[in-house]
Structure 1
């Protein structure tokens, strides 16, 4: 007996998730921790690496279904009229220009976006926000956000009830996270709201108030593959990216 083939429209294709990478190093290699790729694959997405220096940023939005802005070195303080600090490291103008430009374009569409660590900071800078140059200088060491420049830390994070993040995590109070950062958003810029904070008051997550799906976390959920709650962030992100919704959003009228 012959069975009819399913129509192309009835076949669910896994969404393509573009992930930003570091800049080319001294050996000529771009790099990205494999944890990001593993997390996207576990959630059902197809990861594609986006390297700094690409000039055709709008073209990227034509073929990816979601954007993941990964962690990495610090953003040049000149990009947000900030002050320099001895702890600022791995600044790269090419990566800054690429990711800020891509985020600016993407925020004008409905493409789902997830920012992790540096990714949150990219969203903040492109939205007119400011960054805390070095957390210990302003918040002390009651919460260790980074053990040192090469080691992660773990600490609790308090979720803001009834936010999208709290809803998708199925929790309304507190979670434990893997942390590896020394900077943070100073406050939520226009269009964003705080979704989580550390016990010391450091902003740990933000979400966009008008974009269909734009969430950023300062911690590293990709480093907690055994935590089913953390992996819900990737599952929700990939699920959102599987829906056809990349359209231009109406922009506020200029004064």
Structure 2
């Protein structure tokens, strides 16, 4: 099933955020910035947004050529990485995390490409067995403004790219300007995974797992294409989704 013809684009699942009634609708609603989808289409993929329906995961796994786990207004439940306490700032969305966990684990089990972005990187690290910093200002000495005050389509700080990593081979640079919109970050990198990018204050900004075809997460939002490295990331991901 799901054999690519010469004319069929790779089908890329993109996870959605969810919100309670209020704002856009008086009923619960899904949310996704348009540039997640446009970044996929501009890079040669066909985006498919994924509602939080766990029973649909097996069917999605048959259909999808790749998965993007997005960021959003949420945090991974600290209980999922063994934390005894939950920081006051943590906002969990159980249905979202249940679905994203199941489909991420399923894609990895089938060795299909997974690209985690911001909160998606955090979820990916936990699925792989790692842990998270629950609130950067309480855990990192003299932290940068990881929830940057300037617009998200501008850089907030640089990251140093680790040599001899998939990320390094993709972007072809040892430093990238990135945007920043997070209060959590990777703490212990998952077993078998490696850190491939780090901020000047020591916060982990990228992870990858060499045991899979394409398993990579970044803490920033490359869908804004604020650097050529961001474009290369999406291009490399879409290329990995082809047979």
TM-score over 0.5 for the pair? yes
In structure 1, the partner of 2:14 is: 19
The structure-2 alpha-carbon separation of the partners of 1:226 and 1:195, relative to structure 1 and needing over 3 Å to count, comes to closer
TM-score (norm 1): 0.85
Q: Gapped runs of 5+ residues in structure 1?
A: 1-7, 244-255
Match runs of 1:94-173 below 5 Å: 94-147=95-148, 152=152, 154-171=156-173, 173=174
Match runs of 1:14-53 below 5 Å: 14-23=9-18, 25-26=20-21, 27=25, 28-53=28-53
Q: CA deviation at 1:99?
A: 0.6
Q: CA deviation at 1:233?
A: 0.4
Q: CA deviation at 1:10?
A: 6.6
For 2:194 and 2:113, locate their aligned partners in 1 and report how far apart those are by CA, in whole Å: 17
Q: 1:68-99: CA deviations, max 9, x gaps?
A: 0000111111222222112212x111011111
For 2:102 and 2:95, locate their aligned partners in 1 and report how far apart those are by CA, in whole Å: 11
Match runs of 1:48-59 below 5 Å: 48-59=48-59
Q: What CA RMSD, in Å, does the superposition of the two structures yield over aligned residues?
A: 1.9
Q: Flag as ranges the 4+ runs of structure 1 deviating above 4 A.
A: 150-153
Q: CA deviation at 1:151?
A: 6.0
Q: CA deviation at 1:9?
A: 7.7
Q: CA deviation at 1:214?
A: 0.7
Q: 1:151-193: CA deviations, max 9, x gaps?
A: 646101000001010111011x211101111101112111211
Q: CA deviation at 1:227?
A: 2.1
The structure-2 alpha-carbon separation of the partners of 1:25 and 1:185, relative to structure 1 and needing over 3 Å to count, comes to same
In structure 2, the partner of 1:251 is: none
Whether contact under 8 Å (1:116, 1:219) holds in the other structure is yes
Q: CA deviation at 1:24?
A: 5.1
For 1:9 and 1:46, locate their aligned partners in 2 and report how far apart those are by CA, in whole Å: 12
Whether contact under 8 Å (1:151, 1:180) holds in the other structure is no
The structure-2 alpha-carbon separation of the partners of 1:24 and 1:88, relative to structure 1 and needing over 3 Å to count, comes to closer
Q: 1:115-174: CA deviations, max 9, x gaps?
A: 0011111111112211001111121344211136x9646101000001010111011x21
For 1:87 and 1:103, locate their aligned partners in 2 and report how far apart those are by CA, in whole Å: 25
TM-score (norm 2): 0.89
Whether contact under 8 Å (2:178, 2:226) holds in the other structure is no
For 1:10 and 1:60, locate their aligned partners in 2 and report how far apart those are by CA, in whole Å: 19
